[in-house]
Amino acid sequence: MKKFLKHISLGFLLFVIINIIILIKYELPAYEAIKNKTHKNYLKWDGIHNNTNTYDLIILGSSRAYTSLNPKVIDSGLNLKSFNMATSSQDITESYYTLKEILDYQKPKYLVLETYLGSCDDFINYYQVYSNASFFKSSKHKYDLVIDGYGSKGIVNYLVPMMKFNNYMKQDITSLFSKKKSKAPKLNWYKGFHYDTTVVTKDDISKFKPIPSFKNKNFNKDRFKFYFDKIYELAKTNGIKLIVLRTPYPPSRLMLDSNTDENGFYKNYFSEFKDVGYYDLNRYKSNKFNFTDNDFSDFHHANGKGAEKISQQLVNIIKAEQLN
């Protein structure tokens, strides 16, 4: 019995040591970035928390949104003040609790929500979720996100670094045996928007895979409906006009597959909400806003040139909404 307890104790100690090492490796750079005021989520929340009741338009969504929607272009076109609060791998559940935190400090007239099948699939990037939530000033919003938003899996990933950083550990191990290109640090941030000067290469274009569909994504329709309904009610209660966008993909990627799962689902779903505008920017006024592969930095992120067109699309959409 003593031997068994000894083995259990040693195993637990080893588990704790491994998690401490993982925590130091992956969290230390984040602490350094916060200290140096270069951490993107820190800077985003600093803009929200320290400029009370400043922004007329808030953008939520994934990195597809923070590379696509440029507040400088939007503000110039609409004569208002916008802020891009999209974050890496932002999940629909995360978007809801992020909005709750934002509304403690801002009173926007418009909420722009970017969504795609990856925003509510079975894979949840808990590190990115909790990186964003770590800057909530409200302990209640943070607690509700972990407990109510993600349940037991959320709690385990919040408490155990080995779980939270699992995906990044796999990537690091894979990189030891491959020649995968290292990503350059993201610079050129403006009001939460990342201006990317990268242009996707012909070699990368040749390796494009089909866009998300119900065949290659385990999209959770029930979870999407549950949290979108919450976002909708929160926006309605606060008198906010809600606009939902499906941001563009490189044309060469769209041509790989004729599936319309993503747009078809959203178009049908949002048709039930008469006061919500849904727009597929791959098709919105395509004769005027003609995208090329050179408008993208990779397989689904716009670069600065593409963001100019996408932001102008949003300006056009809101001007049309104002006339109705």
Boundaries of domain holding 70: 45-122+180-323
Alpha-carbon distance of 175 to 169, in angstroms, equals 10
Q: Do 49 and 80 sit in the same domain of this protein?
A: yes
Q: Do 22 and 66 sit in the same domain of this protein?
A: no
Assigned domain for 140 exists: no
Q: Do 203 and 278 sit in the same domain of this protein?
A: yes
User: What is the full per-residue pLDDT of the chain (324 aa) written as tens digits?
Assistant: 666 666 566 766 666 676 677 666 667 776 687 777 788 999 999 999 999 999 999 999 999 999 999 999 999 999 999 999 999 999 999 999 999 999 999 999 999 999 999 999 988 999 999 999 999 999 999 999 999 999 999 898 888 776 666 665 566 566 566 665 555 567 789 999 999 999 999 999 999 999 999 999 999 999 999 999 999 999 999 999 999 999 999 999 999 999 999 999 999 999 999 899 999 999 999 889 999 999 999 999 999 999 999 999 999 999 998 876
Alpha-carbon distance of 228 to 207, in angstroms, equals 33
Q: Do 110 and 80 sit in the same domain of this protein?
A: yes
Contact (CB, 8 A) for 308 and 74: no
**What's the pTM?**
0.91
